[in-house]
Chains A and B, each alone.
Chain A
Amino acid sequence: MKSRDQEYKEIFIAEALEYYDALNRHISDLEKNPEDEQLLAEIFRLLHNLKANAKAIGYESIGDVSHKLETAFGLIRSRELSFSDEVVTVLFDGVDLLGEMITNIDSPKEVEPSPELLRNLDIIINSLSENSSELTKVQKYYTTKNLSLSDLIYIQIKKLDHLLNLVGELIIDRDRIFSLSKELDNEDLKNVSAHLYRITEELQYSVMDARLVNVGSLFNKFPRIVRDIAVVEKKEINLEIVGQDIQIDRNILQIITDSLLHLMRNAISHGIEKEDVRKKNKKSPQGNVTLSAQNDRDTVILKLIDDGKGIDQQEVRKAIVNRGFLTADAAADLRDTEVLSYLFEPGFSLAKEVTEVSGRGVGLDVVKNAIDSIGGRIKVDSKKGEGTTFTLFLPTSIAVKGALLCQVEENFYAIPLMHTDSVVAFPTQELHEVGDLLVADINGETITIISMRELFNTDLNDYSVKKSDLNGDAQNIIIVTYNNRKLGLIVDKLLRQQDIVIKALSKPVNTIEIYAGVTLLGSGKVCLVLDVAAITRYFIARR
């Protein structure tokens, strides 16, 4: 694996060569059309970017030459310098020099900018008169031009999406062949399918790898955004960014972009207190916001931490009652973690005043929907007076997900591991009947237990399970978690853990809420993927 620095360097070189090609093209056009403002602007932009990139990565001399050329074109743009023959020659020389320097980065014959050329550039920049007589002829020691193509290509994400879908299909077929070869018990077939297995696996990871980008590509946009929000809110914010190197699927990053922006706006405008309030509470006058990323096996964990005023549990409880989600008694009984989960309900907002940057009615429910849609989850922790932390658990890649397979009646179902908490065999006798529902005390938590059989076979309004409806002395319960809420699902049989490729259900059955999709098992059997979010919502709505 190449180091990150090496990768950046390669990207820089590829981009720089592209700039160089574009510069050559534009400058030749400009020679024919010296008045073309657009061309000038474009050349100016290219040189400017090249300078900035070169300086950022530490190629000072390329940065310097670009800077001088940029200045010269700036003067031409403002008509302080005419695009005369002598000037053109110097500029062409300058661009050629840039090309040489870029091509020979890190090679033994690294090119130093020729002093004569630099002097010529200085002359045309500094002498605004027609004083071109001082220009010296530059020795062209770099006349041999090698034509070469870039080592990097740009690719539309659409094409990678397609490739990934194909790989998904291939994996399904591979698994089928793999299990067939076991059934048929033919040595040759087994060998071939084992090989096929390894190759497709490698192919899958290669495609997934090609789609990975640094979290930094999103995070690095935040310093500017934070500054702008802070200016509007008249607050001083100290933003710390951690873990830009963590890699994640480009589409997942794209999907959570708006969510992260939303959370950041909330944190600054509602979370961080005004300076005088902070001083009174013995906090630093600047608010501190941390944006961090870390890896945990197949999950990327993003955190947005502020040290603001935190979320007032009592206020949330009041709002739960006021907005009619629960009665006052029920709200008072909620556990703290459950209280906070109401923040993600549609139409639930604590904002008292609408400010310019946030509080325009777009709630946290939108954030949660975005994260649900990619099979991630979001958690909020907050302590009054100390701050709030939003934690986003995101899959590294969209295509393949770990899932727990279980059986209910004759069907197989998959539950994404992202939403499973634990699995228990629970004595039927220790379940309690509360109204039409069952509850259990598992590791000190009271959890609502749902019989999947009953859920599948009755209308939700008629859902009612008594202990006597259950078979056996112990129940297989999968405890799932969604939005800080836990739910126990009774299944007939626990099968195994497996990586699955989730396909979307096609019309017209794609509207059935409790399914997140479908997958094909190695046996060729169709396995429905349960949508834990929807099932949880079902039972919340019921309450």
Chain B
Amino acid sequence: MESQNIRDKKEKVVEEKVHLIVFKLGLEEYGVRIDQVKEVTITPEITRMPKTPSFIKGVSNIRGDIIAIMDLEERFRIERPSGLPHQHTYTLVMEAREYTMGFIVHEVPQSLTLPVSSIDKAPSFIQDININENFIEGIGKHEDRLIIVLDIFKILTSDEVMQLKS
């Protein structure tokens, strides 16, 4: 009986799902947990803010809140494949504990549910790519797709962002 119970529990753990918002940066797919995303919107007019790093695109008025907008591709120095049309860009409005910030993505973000078990902890060789390992929560696999799961909270609190002082 007891061993049966334990097996049941194990099965439940296996079934735990994580809900992601998935978007493309460069050629790869990236995801963030949906509970960190406040909303997804077509990028509103951005007011450029001189004296900020180039990956800060400026500030936007989103429903009366004025928030900073960051370009993740520029932030991570991900090269965009040239020639892709982008009439609109989209902004993911993300909430950290103390503040809200927008992230620009170039294609419509999608929602995707993955079993937790299909996300591997970030392997160490990822240090070789430009995204600091710290920001990567893991690599998720879904059918034949590979999704890099980002820890947005770490991006928002990284020293680099917090100390924007010019």
Contacts and interface: CB of A to CB of B under 8 A. Distances in A.
B45 A512 contact: no
Given A411-B48, A526-B47, A509 B68 contact: yes
Which range holds the interface residue count of chain B?
A: 20 to 34
Nearest to B56: A509
B164 A511 contact: yes
A508 B164 contact: yes
Given A509-B49, A509-B68, A509-B164, 12 more contacts: A411-B50, A506-B66, A506-B67, A507-B98, A508-B156, A508-B162, A508-B164, A511-B162, A512-B164, A518-B66, A525-B47, A526-B61
B166 interface: yes
Contacts of B81: none
5 nearest interchain CB pairs? A456-B50, A507-B99, A526-B47, A509-B68, A508-B161
Contact of A411 (B47, B61, B164): B47
Nearest to B48: A411
A411 B47 CA distance: 7
Contacts of A409: 48
Interface residues of A, number: 29
Interface of B: 45, 47-52, 56, 59-61, 64-68, 98-101, 156, 161-166
A460 B166 contact: yes
Contact of B59 (A455, A513, A526): A526
B84 to A, nearest CB: 25
Contact of B61 (A511, A512, A514, A520): A520
Contacts of B51: 456, 512, 514
A511 B47 contact: no
A512 B165 contact: yes
Contact of A169 (B48, B64, B68, B162): B64
Interface in A512-537: 512-515, 518, 520, 524-528
Contacts of A526: 45, 47, 59-61, 66
Given A457-B50, A524-B61, A526-B47, A508 B99 contact: yes
Contacts of A525: 45, 47
Nearest to B98: A507
Contact of A508 (B47, B48, B60, B68): B68
A410 interface: yes
B75 to A, nearest CB: 12
A122 B161 CA distance: 75
Given A505-B59, A518-B59, A512 B64 contact: no
B100 A506 contact: yes
28 contacts: A172-B64, A173-B64, A411-B48, A457-B50, A459-B166, A505-B59, A505-B66, A506-B67, A507-B68, A507-B99, A508-B162, A508-B164, A509-B49, A509-B59, A509-B164, A511-B163, A511-B164, A511-B165, A512-B51, A512-B52, A512-B164, A512-B165, A513-B166, A515-B49, A524-B61, A525-B47, A526-B47, A528-B59
A508 B101 contact: yes
Nearest to B68: A509
Nearest to B161: A508
Contacts of B66: 503, 505-506, 518, 520, 526
Contacts of B67: 506
Contacts of B60: 526
B47 A528 contact: yes
A511 B65 CA distance: 18
Nearest to A457: B50
Interface string A498-510: 0000010111110
Most chain A CB within 10 A, of B56, B68, B101, B163, is at B68
Most chain A CB within 10 A, of B45, B59, B100, B163, is at B59
Contacts of A455: 50
Nearest to B47: A526
Nearest to B160: A508
Contacts of B163: 511
A294 B156 CA distance: 47
Interface string A162-188: 000000010011000000000000000
A528 B99 contact: no
A410 B48 contact: yes
A405 to B, nearest CB: 14
Contacts of A411: 47-48, 50
Most chain B CB within 10 A, of A456, A507, A528, is at A507
Given A506-B66, A526-B59, A512 B100 contact: no
Contacts of B64: 169, 172-173, 520
A410 B47 CA distance: 9
Interface string A451-480: 000011101100000000000000000000
A410 B58 CA distance: 13
A524 B63 CA distance: 10
Most chain A CB within 10 A, of B48, B65, B163, B165, is at B48
A360 to B, nearest CB: 30
Nearest to A459: B166
A73 B48 CA distance: 70
Nearest to A412: B47
A447 B127 CA distance: 52
Given A506-B99, A508-B68, A509-B59, A528 B49 contact: yes
Contacts of B52: 509, 512
Nearest to A519: B66
A169 B64 CA distance: 8
Most chain B CB within 10 A, of A455, A460, A503, A526, is at A526
A505 B58 CA distance: 12
A526 B52 CA distance: 16
Interface in A394-440: 409-411
B48 A512 contact: no
A409 B59 CA distance: 16
Nearest to B65: A506
Nearest to B158: A508
B61 A506 contact: no
Contacts of B45: 525-526
Nearest to B157: A508
